[in-house]
């Protein structure tokens, strides 16, 4: 499994609960560009429209060699999930405070996959706790490395 893009901000801004692996519908030039890791998940989010799941605002750079057959950089891309998974996501998102965020894009068995997570927003004090925990872990690793 080769990770092409990681959404570090999602782990900082949200409590990630359930994770799902989804396929993604792409055009040819998008596949080439994504496999060259020319994409960004920074502003991307997942939306459910008419019982279908879409990845919105994911930026995929144009593939230079595609010329006139290139794709638009930011568009809605359909995610491929089971009906059971879609129903679970729809039920959870209808509850207050829950959203769906993409966490990473990777290649698995030659196919491009997107990991999405059911997430609940963090308050500012939770974010400060996350920062403190990260600093303590970093300090512990540094001390263990000395010995």
Average pLDDT over all residues of the chain:
87
Q: Taking the CB of residue 17, how many other CB atoms lie within 10 A of it?
A: 11
Residue 99 near residue 45 (C-beta atoms within 8 A) = yes
Q: What is the pLDDT of residue 78?
A: 92
Rounded to whole angstroms, the Cα distance separating 61 from 145 reads 40
Determine the average pLDDT of the residues in 121-135. 86
Determine the average pLDDT of the residues in 112-133. 88
pLDDT band at 11 (very low <50, low <70, confident <90, very high): confident
pLDDT in tens, 33-90: 888 888 888 888 899 999 899 999 888 888 777 777 777 778 888 999 999 999 998 8
Q: What is the pLDDT of residue 139?
A: 92
Rounded to whole angstroms, the Cα distance separating 118 from 137 reads 26
Determine the average pLDDT of the residues in 113-138. 88
Q: What is the pLDDT of residue 137?
A: 92
Environment class of residue 2 by beta-carbon count within 10 Å: exposed (0-12), middle (13-18) or buried (19+)? exposed
Residue 23 has pLDDT above 90, yes or no: yes
Higher pLDDT, 102 or 124: 102
- Mean pLDDT highest for which of 66-70, 96-100, 140-144? 140-144
Residue 92 has pLDDT above 90, yes or no: no
Q: Break the chain into its structural domains and give their ranges.
A: 2-121
Determine the average pLDDT of the residues in 1-13. 87
Reported CATH class of domain 2-121: mainly beta
Residue 44 near residue 55 (C-beta atoms within 8 A) = yes
Determine the average pLDDT of the residues in 96-120. 91
Determine the average pLDDT of the residues in 127-145. 89
Rounded to whole angstroms, the Cα distance separating 134 from 127 reads 11
């Amino acid at each position: 499994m080769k990770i092409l893009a990681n959404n570090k901000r999602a782990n900082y801004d949200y409590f990630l609960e359930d994770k799902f692996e989804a396929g993604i519908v792409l055009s040819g030039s998008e596949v080439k560009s994504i496999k060259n890791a020319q994409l960004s998940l920074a502003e991307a989010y997942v939306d459910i429209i008419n019982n279908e799941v879409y990845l919105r605002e994911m930026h995929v750079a144009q593939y230079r060699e595609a010329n006139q057959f290139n794709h638009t950089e930011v568009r809605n891309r359909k995610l491929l999930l089971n009906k059971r998974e879609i129903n679970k996501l729809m039920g959870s998102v209808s509850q207050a405070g829950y959203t769906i965020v993409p966490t990473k894009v990777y290649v698995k068995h030659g196919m491009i996959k997107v990991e999405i997570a059911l997430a609940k927003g963090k308050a500012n004090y939770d974010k400060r706790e996350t920062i403190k925990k990260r600093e303590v872990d970093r300090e512990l690793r540094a001390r263990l490395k000395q010995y």
